[in-house]
Amino acid sequence: MKKFLMLAAAIMPLAAHATNPLVTDDTGTQDTGNWQLELNSEWITLPTSRQQQWTNTLTYGVLPALDVAIQAPYQRSRPDGDGWTSGFTDLQLQAKWRFLEGEQWSLGLKPFVTLPTASQDRGLGNGRATTGANLLMQYTLDRWTFLANAGYTWNNNSTGNRQSLWNVSTAMLFSVTEELRLVGDIGMATNPDSTTQTKPAYALVGAIYSPTKDLDLDVGYKRGLNPASLTHSVQAGVTIRW
């Protein structure tokens, strides 16, 4: 069961957390002295299990183009025919640096390290620290915003999973009004399971409603694109800035 739970968590998208409900991250930062709290819940159906995830990410703007963040996910997993396993998963530390920008485009880098703070025996943690980074690209044209990410994770582990993992994804956002944005996202990643070459892939659609500049409400629906992926998931979240 422990091996199954670790693989179930591993086939979820590998990129560090992005703007809810997207997987692909933008290059936006909070600016000096500003805070952001993202709360996201996701109900996931995998081929042979069910999973619920609650992701909490607190971000602080160190400089106009540099953020630091801490992420503390909590999950419940249940293989079909078995009981639930629940608890906090490994803590993740992140930074985002927008290092180059023009009038309509920008590039950023998002390094992260995941600390072995959760129980490996219960299938909630990796047992070892992992690290990686994502290159972030953003282009804005009128009411459209286009995003692309390419990333690498050193998946240090003792369970026989692959250690060298890559991920790519792209997304677009369309501003219907000043308050409402529609989003789409698609991506794929290396499969951590060393017994298969099939790469988990997903497609996502969703919406972000911003009644004020400091509050976002979001919903999303994600679908797996091959047998190595999740079957589907639904998610909802809120983002608060101050």
List, in order, residues 6 or more apart from 210 with CB less than 8 Å away: 178, 179, 180, 181, 216, 217
- pLDDT tier at 85, thresholds 50, 70, 90: confident
Task: Quote the CA–CA distance of 103 and 139 in Å, as a whole number.
Answer: 9
Q: What is the pLDDT of residue 72?
A: 93
pLDDT above 70 coverage of the chain, percent: 93
All domains in the chain, ordered by first residue: 34-241 (2.40.160.40)
- Position 139 pLDDT exceeds 70: yes
Q: With contact defined as beta carbons under 8 Å apart, do 170 and 184 qualify?
A: no
> Which of residues 4 and 106 earns the better pLDDT score?
106
Q: What is the mean pLDDT of residues 148-164?
A: 93
- For residue range 122-132, what is the model confidence (pLDDT) as tens digits? 878 888 999 99
Q: What is the pLDDT of residue 158?
A: 82
Q: What is the pLDDT of residue 17?
A: 66
Q: What is the pLDDT of residue 47?
A: 85
Q: With contact defined as beta carbons under 8 Å apart, do 20 and 237 qualify?
A: yes
Q: Write down the mean pLDDT value for the chain.
A: 91
Q: What is the pLDDT of residue 93?
A: 98
- Position 133 pLDDT exceeds 90: yes
- Position 208 pLDDT exceeds 90: yes
Least confident segment among 16-20, 200-204, 205-209, 226-230:
16-20
Q: What is the mean pLDDT of residues 49-71?
A: 96
Q: Are strands 74-79 and 105-114 parallel, antiparallel or unpaired?
A: unpaired
Query: What is the radius of gyration, based on Cα positions, of the chain?
Result: 17
- pLDDT tier at 79, thresholds 50, 70, 90: confident
Q: What is the pLDDT of residue 11?
A: 52
pTM: 0.91
